[in-house]
Amino acid sequence: MKRSIVLLMMICGVFSTSFAQRYMTRTGKVSFYSATSLEKIEAVNNQVASVVDAKSGDVIFQVPVKSFKFDRSLMEEHFNENYMESDKYPKSDFKGKISDIGNVNFSKDGSYKVTAIGKMTMHGVTRDVNIPGTIEVKGKMIVLNAVFKVVPGDYNIKIPNLVKDKIAKEIEVTVKSELNQQ
């Protein structure tokens, strides 16, 4: 985990050596939810590292896969070993830009609609994504909020026939991360 944070910080240095405003956290929250008539599955991860450059709109999220916590330990085990193969693919990430960063007034508290456009990598597969969300400005802190769907098959996550009716075809992902100005 510490190596991931150092790597994330080094990547951020590539964005620009003179950040006007940079916001960062190592305790961001990403959760997911799957519901079918047979099963409800929910997991939460509070160890998400993210950085936003308020000037350029560059944004990075790095999610350690093994940090997702489930209500039932057997679900967590199956998620890590059978579906996400966390030892082989220990992290998922998003790297991109907030396309409409100019609409956000970082010096005025409020909620601003935005869209993040970039590449999401999960289970070794990278795909282009557009994620609508909001940036809430609260003093020297921002809160990133987004809700979007992920199709496991798009990322080569195989669901065995035995349990395919227990897992939704689209998984709802929720991001709520508080980032502090650096």
The tally of CA atoms less than 13 A away on the side-chain side of residue 35 is 3
For residue 128, the enclosing domain spans 2-181
Domain count, the chain: 1
Q: What is the CATH classification number for the domain harbouring 174?
A: 2.40.128.110
Question: What are the φ/ψ torsions at residue 69 (nearest 5 degrees)?
Answer: -115, 135
pLDDT 10s digit of each residue in the chain, 182 long? Answer: 555 554 555 555 544 444 458 999 999 999 999 999 899 999 999 999 999 999 999 999 999 999 999 999 999 999 999 999 999 999 999 999 999 999 999 999 999 999 999 999 999 999 999 999 999 999 999 999 999 999 999 999 998 888 888 999 999 999 999 999 99
CB 62 within 8 A of CB 12: no
Q: How many CB atoms lie within 10 A of CB 169?
A: 12
pLDDT digits over 86-122, tens only? 999 999 999 999 999 999 999 999 999 999 999 999 9
DSSP string, 20-32: SSEEEEEEEEEEE
The dihedral region occupied by 110, where left means phi > 0, alpha psi between -120 and 50, and beta the remainder, is: left
